[in-house]
Amino acid sequence: MTELSFIHRYEPATDPKRPPLLLLHGTGGDENDLQDLGRMISPGSALLSPRGKILENGMPRFFRRLAEGVFDEEDVRFRANELADFVAEARKAYGLEAPVAVGFSNGANIAAAMLMLRPEALAGAALLRAMVPLSSAPQVDLAGKRVLMISGAMDPIIPADNSNRLAASLSGSGAEVQHQMLPTGHNLSQSDLSLLVKWFAE
């Protein structure tokens, strides 16, 4: 494995027409978690999958939090920039276009922060169970970026008004946002998979 600034897994594309995916796991996950999901939702895409560098009681994450749903925003900013730098390194090392992020939970939150702070790092994003990562959203131009958000109406971690605010903030910055609210909780369901497959095929 190429030495880059994050422990990661990389699988080259078998279909050059498919965009590379940046797979970002949830709390307690690692670089292997979303590999199968990535293959299912965009067959043939290159898969770039880093492991979050923060450890919370031994569980990898992409940034520090003070409590569930309460983020250390200084760390969010630092880590979003660090991850965007890794994406730039990996693009050079593997010869990749800007990837589409596919993030779950903590991984979706860091992807949302990257969109706001380092929009050039991502071509777009699929945010699964995401919440507002920064209390004041930076001014950013997200024109031309497609964002799929899939939230759970019964998610005990993310109130619906929070994910709605994130969707409004991203579309207010010019992103082409599709926000789906499923009758489910924090975990992913079969409906997430169907929506992802459809969104990637469009």
Range in contact with ligand MLT (rule: CB under 6 A) among 14-22, 77-85, 103-111, 171-179:
103-111
Q: Is 163 annotated in the active site?
A: no
Nearer to ligand MLT, 84 or 130 (CB): 130
Question: Could you say whether residue 135 binds ligand MLT (CB under 6 A)?
Answer: no
Cβ atoms of 163 and 186 within 8 Å: the answer is: no
User: What's 156's DSSP letter?
Assistant: S
Amino acid of residue 50: P
Question: Could you say whether residue 68 binds ligand MLT (CB under 6 A)?
Answer: yes
Q: Cβ of residue 55: shortest distance to ligand MLT, in angstroms?
A: 13
Q: Is 15 annotated in the active site?
A: no
Range in contact with ligand MLT (rule: CB under 6 A) among 101-109, 146-154, 170-178, 188-196:
101-109
Which ranges of the chain would DSSP assign to H, the alpha helix? 35-41, 73-94, 106-117, 160-172, 190-201
In the shown chain, the binding pattern of residues 106 to 125 toward ligand MLT, with x for contact by CB under 6 A and - for none, equals x--x----------------
Amino acid of residue 17: K
Neighbours of 16 (CB within 10 A): 10
Nearer to ligand MLT, 13 or 128 (CB): 128
Distance, CA of 66 to CA of 172 (rounded, Å): 28
Q: Is 105 annotated in the active site?
A: yes
Distance, CA of 17 to CA of 45 (rounded, Å): 8
Strands 21-24 and 47-50: parallel
Question: Could you say whether residue 157 binds ligand MLT (CB under 6 A)?
Answer: yes
Which residues of the shown chain bind ligand MLT in the complex (CB under 6 A)?
A: 26-27, 65, 68-69, 105-106, 109, 157
